[in-house]
Structure 1
Amino acid sequence: MTGSRVIRVVPGGHEEAPLTDADLLATLSPRDRSRPCLRVNFVTTLDGASTSDGVSGSLGGPADGRVFDLLRRVTDVVVVGAGTVRDEGYGAMRLSEDAATWREQAGLAPQPVFALVSGSLRLDPESTVFTEAPVRPLVLTTDRADPGARRALERVADVVACGEERVDPHLLRDALVERGLPQMHCEGGPRLFGDLVRADAVDELFLTLAPMLEGGHGLRVSQGADSDDSSPLRRMRLAHVLRDGDELLTWYVRDRAQTA
């Protein structure tokens, strides 16, 4: 096919030395921390499922878990949808002492901020997500959220409206940047990712390909709104491919100079 240039990535001609955490951190760290950037991290099976038995934790191998932790280390704020917090059993977000020390040496706060996205505010203020948090969490919601639930959560978190009826991805980004949190890292879930994609608010995607087939009813990594079937394609540029055995870890950057 004209214009096609196929090259061999794996298996390579020789085995390179395994990357250390320092190597990975040098690769994953933002080059310009003052420039706002929203990253998203997901794992998927080869047939496109983001969950097995309703959760994603069983899909990723050790390499995926390692990069997952390191991505938290280099960010200002970790953004997660409330449904994912419930489904995946999130507790208080606290990095290890080594990670906190690394962040301080890099000029960052010891711990990233945890930001939960919830239009309905169906969150338990007595959860360890709030009561054991090393940094006061953020809750990103809407103007029409239940006032009683908002008052309860305001005792344990900073609650910020980012839209009237739905959380607006652009207002979400603006709210975080205004709070001095320009490096944003989203861990899902699929509906939040779908909203971010439709708004063209995603700058980078870290996608792990788990070497397995699900063959069931697992969700895609991105779930669209039922009323919107016309979202255009967004062109992404491949930045890196990492490999651990049969598991591939890819890093794509939004190519806003091109349209697909």
Structure 2
Amino acid sequence: MPRKLDKKGLLYDFITPNEKDLGANGTYVVLRKLEQDVAGFWNAIRARADELGKTPHWLAAKMVGRWMNGSSVVDYPDQEGPPPTRDTPGISFAADRHGYRCPFGAHIRRANPRDDLGDDPEASLAVVARHRLHRRGRVYGKPPSDLFVDDGRRRGLIFITVGTSIRRQFEFVQNLWLTSTCFNGMHGEDDPVAGPRAPHYFGDGRGAHASQTSPFSIPAYPLRRTVPALPRFVTMRGGDYFFMPGRRALRFLAALG
């Protein structure tokens, strides 16, 4: 901003002599209100799990990358493990190169590939670190009494992330990892949980046009399994991009009054 507007000299100097840096030490904030179709999700999962000879909770865990108590399918691929604690080691995909434990398209593997991009785990970690998100979520709405029954109430997640670059962090992860249909060698499928597909309708979603749904691949030996025609389960109901000023900028703005 023009130097002459900072009459009290509260802001840092900018790289050009006639300007001051209003954005120094500031943070960019992304807020999203994400409505979740809980009953639609579980009914769609139950129908497809039956075809695989698996339980709905098993298929849901493969799609998310975690069991409902938070334990990772990397460590517990077939049944729920103990809830993670502060002492639980972080997830590594290096020992699951074929995706037999955690599928390549699982939500957590897309949102944070960790050491899984390419053949060099350390190089992958360095690349992923440039796009990491500092994020938190808070649920809204009353939890359903029955996961498979639509009670007509709206519920979901308030998602917030802060960072130094919306483009390099939030938009990169969303567009090139979560919603990309060719992420990590896959073809024609996006995030099984949060993908922007056609909404759930016609019972289990199979009434939707094929181009409005997405399959989900589960690597297995000798042949992978494919879960067909997943509809949309998450709908963005609102949100925006914000700038959170640093302390000097806050003092400057407060002095304007």
Q: Same fold (TM over 0.5)?
A: no
Instruction: Please state which band the TM-score falls in when normalised by the shorter chain.
Output: under 0.3
- Provide TM-score, normalisation by structure 2: 0.25
* Higher RCO, 1 vs 2 (CA within 8 Å, ≥6 residues apart): 2
- Provide TM-score, normalisation by structure 1: 0.25
